[in-house]
């Protein structure tokens, strides 16, 4: 019954889209005020989509295996929390969540933009409805979450065990709020371009939506990284996985857009940048959807492997890009006074330089993600692009970017000079000598890494000073930039000082080296509702007197029948002790992987500081 209500709610929602479009066109042509019926119809459409989504949730909770989506991704023994999160832990359910967020954002936009021009609101709604109609048709035609199975199975196939995790359960909704939030920015920018409505006031209005989208996208990426760190058992937080990359690319574009909006608030310049970045952000979000849903990418993140779905999204994406480019070239008007006449040393110039660097990073990641796809299409050769590619191309440009980021925020609008040159010089000297002390005893490239650490330390010292001394005056910017400097520094130190030991041990055996003793003491077996657990008890001793017991785990899930390795992690302010174990096939040995990961907690905290800067910027008038 819930599935039936859910399906017909989808159909009614699609019908309402066409009604909303008709009312909007009529209101655009024939009225001077916004028709309140349009807001009511938009709310009714949102209500139907919420009803449809709740119908799918209820089907999962009740283990209604007459629903094909529930049958493929649930099981009666699965805990209630994962039954609910399984709603969006699959292709069909995740797209329904996309649709829900699309409708939610346009409804909130109409509520929050009452002081804006009527035609601008109507045109934004029309562009958003084009996207919404596209997703309605896509879901109903190729990805219906309410397909019926007969005869009804008595049991489901279950959800992939690695997706049965609290962080990954809340990761997709938060990430989608960032992804789909960019759709409102996209629609509003196209509407403003058509009406020549882009101005300082418009920049203040749209900045709120840019900030919300950026904050949610940042938090979504953070949750995904934390999940990958402890759940995949690889001991890392970023692997340049293609699906990780397709979430990072819109974040880079959105970050660049946010800085351009700051200029537009002050002066009516860089409007072309704002339009292009708004289009690019949503286009990259859609590209990510295409790559993940088409089955082109192979990743633990991907949900679908259906060329028909990929072809539909690709055609829809090309239509949106063509529409965007047509509006940009035929409606965007550059005024005579809209010239880049600002002084070479000014805040505007520094943000423009920031844009160039960010676009370069974006292009590198884009090429690294799609090049293997094109190569496979052209000559059927499969390659993987890993960390060495990104490191070699990004690091040389990251160094000047960090120096520019340290100096840029200290500049003034219009025209400036570099103030406090003595302090900046002292910070540079301190950073340089500290980096030499850090790098000289490491087995890494001395010259490149010394310059890299110098730039990271320099940014950290400069932003720390600004944050501690002038933080309250510009708290949002200072906190976000301080968080970013801490993030870069933590990542570098984590990379330099991480250590790893991999060995095979039987129960009772000890691995010995000059620095550490690892003793595999025992195992314990437990039966949980939907899996069996083998918990290892491993004792870690080192010459400094550390005696610590870690308990990694193997889980054997009953449906589907999959074995996963769960890491045990002991965290303190300076490092993580990270250990996993796996059973060596046809032997009595366990493969033990023990890692020391310095400054991991600071990586997570630094991203939270960056997000806090965005939140403070949103609410600073109320503080």
Which pLDDT tens digit goes with each residue over 158-181?
Answer: 777 777 788 878 888 898 899 888
Rounded-to-integer distance, Cα 157 and Cα 153, Å:
10
Per-residue confidence band for 373, with pLDDT thresholds at 50, 70 and 90: confident
Q: What angle do CA 84, 144, 246 make, to 5 degrees?
A: 75
- What is the model's pLDDT at position 209? 94
Output helix, strand, coil percentages for the chain, rounded to the nearest 5.
Answer: 65, 10, 25
Average pLDDT of the segment spanning 435-452? 86
Average pLDDT of the segment spanning 191-203? 92
Per-residue confidence band for 303, with pLDDT thresholds at 50, 70 and 90: very low
Rounded-to-integer distance, Cα 36 and Cα 211, Å:
28
Give the whole-number percent of the chain exceeding pLDDT 70. Answer: 92
Beta-bridge partner residues of 80: none
- What is the model's pLDDT at position 336? 46
Average pLDDT over all residues of the chain: 86
Residues 6 or more apart whose Cβ sits within 8 Å of residue 239: 228, 387
Q: Which of 77-91, 290-304, 323-337, 595-609 has the lowest mean pLDDT?
A: 290-304
Q: Which of 274-288, 304-318, 492-506, 601-615 has the lowest mean pLDDT?
A: 304-318
Half-sphere exposure in the Cβ direction for 383 (13 Å, CA): 14
Q: Per-residue pLDDT for 109 more than 90?
A: yes
Q: Per-residue pLDDT for 304 more than 50?
A: no
Fill in the DSSP letter of residue 152: P
Average pLDDT of the segment spanning 576-585? 87
- What is the model's pLDDT at position 417? 66
Per-residue confidence band for 297, with pLDDT thresholds at 50, 70 and 90: low
- What is the model's pLDDT at position 55? 94
Per-residue confidence band for 131, with pLDDT thresholds at 50, 70 and 90: very high
Average pLDDT of the segment spanning 85-108? 91
Q: Which of 254-258, 294-298, 533-537 has the lowest mean pLDDT?
A: 294-298
- What is the model's pLDDT at position 337? 46
| Region of 492 on the Ramachandran plot (φ > 0 left; ψ -120 to 50 alpha; else beta) | alpha
Most confidently predicted of 25-39, 245-259, 294-308, 413-427:
245-259
Cα 108 off chain centre by: 22
Tell me the three state secondary structure of residue 112: helix
Q: Per-residue pLDDT for 529 more than 90?
A: no
- What is the model's pLDDT at position 231? 81
- What is the model's pLDDT at position 305? 52
Give the whole-number percent of the chain exceeding pLDDT 90. Answer: 41
- What is the model's pLDDT at position 424? 84
Tell me the three state secondary structure of residue 498: coil
Order of strands, sheet of 568-571, starting from the edge strand that comes earlier in the sequence: 499-505, 590-598, 575-583, 568-571
| Rounded (10°) angle between helices 200-231 and 242-266 | 160
- What is the model's pLDDT at position 256? 94
Predicted confidence (pLDDT) per residue in 423-443, tens digit: 888 989 999 999 999 888 787
Fill in the DSSP letter of residue 162: G
Q: Under a CB-based contact definition with an 8 Å cutoff, are residues 519 and 541 in contact? A: yes
Per-residue confidence band for 369, with pLDDT thresholds at 50, 70 and 90: confident
Most confidently predicted of 33-47, 149-163, 229-243, 531-545:
33-47
- What is the model's pLDDT at position 44? 96
Q: CA 439, 444, 450, 455 torsion: positive or negative? A: negative
Q: Which of 546, 539, 547, 533 is nearest to 521 (CA)?
A: 539
Per-residue confidence band for 623, with pLDDT thresholds at 50, 70 and 90: very low
Per-residue confidence band for 283, with pLDDT thresholds at 50, 70 and 90: very high
Average pLDDT of the segment spanning 391-396? 92
Per-residue confidence band for 292, with pLDDT thresholds at 50, 70 and 90: low
Q: Under a CB-based contact definition with an 8 Å cutoff, are residues 334 and 275 in contact? A: no
Q: Per-residue pLDDT for 346 more than 80?
A: no
E strand segments, 35-162: none
Residues 6 or more apart whose Cβ sits within 8 Å of residue 369: 242, 245, 246, 249, 291, 385
Rounded-to-integer distance, Cα 378 and Cα 382, Å:
10
Q: Per-residue pLDDT for 592 more than 60?
A: yes
- What is the model's pLDDT at position 335? 55
Q: Which of 167-176, 188-197, 328-337, 555-564 has the lowest mean pLDDT?
A: 328-337
> Cα–Cα distances in Å, from 294 out to 222, 241, 289, 312, 486?
25, 16, 8, 9, 37
Does the predicted model carry a pTM greater than 0.85?
Answer: yes
- What is the model's pLDDT at position 228? 86
Average pLDDT of the segment spanning 48-70? 92
Q: Per-residue pLDDT for 338 more than 60?
A: no
Beta-bridge partner residues of 505: 590
Between 37 and 414, the more confident residue is 37
- What is the model's pLDDT at position 545? 67
Between 450 and 306, the more confident residue is 450
Q: Where are the alpha helices (DSSP H) in 380-472?
A: 387-407, 421-439, 446-470
Q: Which of 290, 298, 212 is nearest to 249 (CA)?
A: 290
* Token output for 458: 């320099």
């Amino acid at each position: 019954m819930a599935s039936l209500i859910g399906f017909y709610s989808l159909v009614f929602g699609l019908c309402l889209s066409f009604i909303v479009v008709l009312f909007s066109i009529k209101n655009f042509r024939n009225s001077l005020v916004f028709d309140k019926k349009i807001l009511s119809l938009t709310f009714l459409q949102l209500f139907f989509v919420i009803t449809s989504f709740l119908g799918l949730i209820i089907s999962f909770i009740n283990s209604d295996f007459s629903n094909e989506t529930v049958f493929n991704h649930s099981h009666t023994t699965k805990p209630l929390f994962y039954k609910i999160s399984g709603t969006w832990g699959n292709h069909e359910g995740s797209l329904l969540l996309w649709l829900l967020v699309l409708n939610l954002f346009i409804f909130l936009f109409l509520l929050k933009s009452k002081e804006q021009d009527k035609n601008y609101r109507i045109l934004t709604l029309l562009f958003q409805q084009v996207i919404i109609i596209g997703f309605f048709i896509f879901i109903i035609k190729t990805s219906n979450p309410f397909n019926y199975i007969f005869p009804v199975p008595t049991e489901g196939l279950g959800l992939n065990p690695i997706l049965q995790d609290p962080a990954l359960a809340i990761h997709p909704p938060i990430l989608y709020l960032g992804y789909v939030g960019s759709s409102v920015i996209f629609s509003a920018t196209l509407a403003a371009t058509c009406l020549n409505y882009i101005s300082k006031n418009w920049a203040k209005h749209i900045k709120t939506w840019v900030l919300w989208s950026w904050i949610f996208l940042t938090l979504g990426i953070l949750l995904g990284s934390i999940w990958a760190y402890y759940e995949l058992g690889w001991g890392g937080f970023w692997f340049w996985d293609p699906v990780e990359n397709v979430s990072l690319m819109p974040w880079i574009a959105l970050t660049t857009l946010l800085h351009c909006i700051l200029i537009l608030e002050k002066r009516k310049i860089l409007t072309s940048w704002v339009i292009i970045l708004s289009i690019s952000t949503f286009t990259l979000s859609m590209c990510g959807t295409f790559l993940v849903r088409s089955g082109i990418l192979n990743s633990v993140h991907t949900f679908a492997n259906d060329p028909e779905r990929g072809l539909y999204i690709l055609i829809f994406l090309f239509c949106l890009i063509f529409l965007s480019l047509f509006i940009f070239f035929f409606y965007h008007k550059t005024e005579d006074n809209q010239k880049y006449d600002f002084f070479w040393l000014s805040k505007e110039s520094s943000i423009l330089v920031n844009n160039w660097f960010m676009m370069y990073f974006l292009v590198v990641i884009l090429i690294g993600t799609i090049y293997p796809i094109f190569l496979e299409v052209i000559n059927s050769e499969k390659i993987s692009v890993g960390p060495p590619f990104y490191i070699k191309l990004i690091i040389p440009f990251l160094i000047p970017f960090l120096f520019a980021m340290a100096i840029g925020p200290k500049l003034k609008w219009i025209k400036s000079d570099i103030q406090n040159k003595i302090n900046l010089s002292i910070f540079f000297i301190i950073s340089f000598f500290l980096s030499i002390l850090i790098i000289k005893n490491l087995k890494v490239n001395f010259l490149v890494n010394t310059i890299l650490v110098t730039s990271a330390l320099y940014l950290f010292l400069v932003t720390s000073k600004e944050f501690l001394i002038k933080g309250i005056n510009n708290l949002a910017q200072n906190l976000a930039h301080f968080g970013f400097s801490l993030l870069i520094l933590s990542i570098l130190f984590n990379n330099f000082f991480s250590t790893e030991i991999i060995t095979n041990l039987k129960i009772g055996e000890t691995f010995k080296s000059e620095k550490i003793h690892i003793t595999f003491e025992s195992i314990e077996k437990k039966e949980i509702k939907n899996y069996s657990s083998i918990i290892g008890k491993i004792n870690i001793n080192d010459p400094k007197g550390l005696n610590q017991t870690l308990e990694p785990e193997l889980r054997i899930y009953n449906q589907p029948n999959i074995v996963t390795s769960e890491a045990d992690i002991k965290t303190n302010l300076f490092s993580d002790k990270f250990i996993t174990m796996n059973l060596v096939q046809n032997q009595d040995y366990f493969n033990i992987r023990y890692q020391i990961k310095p400054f991991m907690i600071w990586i997570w905290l630094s991203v939270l500081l960056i997000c806090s800067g965005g939140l403070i910027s949103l609410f600073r008038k109320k503080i």
